[in-house]
Amino acid sequence: YWADPGRTLLGEINHHDGGRGVYFEDPNGHLLEIITRQYGSGGWNP
């Protein structure tokens, strides 16, 4: 998993919009994202 869609922050979690987010590849190689807060719902804290 990665903290960014560019896959440069391996094994890290982002804290955008005051929540947590992570990107991972599905078995077909598609990049998926899990976030705990909606985009724009909090402060930006990279």
Angle at Cα 3 formed by Cα 34 and Cα 36, nearest 5°? 30
Enter the pTM of the model. Answer: 0.82
pLDDT tens profile 1-46: 999 999 999 999 999 988 999 999 999 999 999 999 988 877 655 5
pLDDT at 8: 98
**13 and 28 Cβ atoms separated by less than 8 Å:** no
pLDDT at 45: 57
pLDDT at 40: 80
pLDDT at 39: 83
Alpha carbon separation from 24 to 9, 41, 42 (Å, rounded): 12, 22, 23
Residue 28 and residue 4: Cα distance in Å, rounded? Answer: 19
pLDDT at 13: 98
Enter the DSSP assignment of 13: -
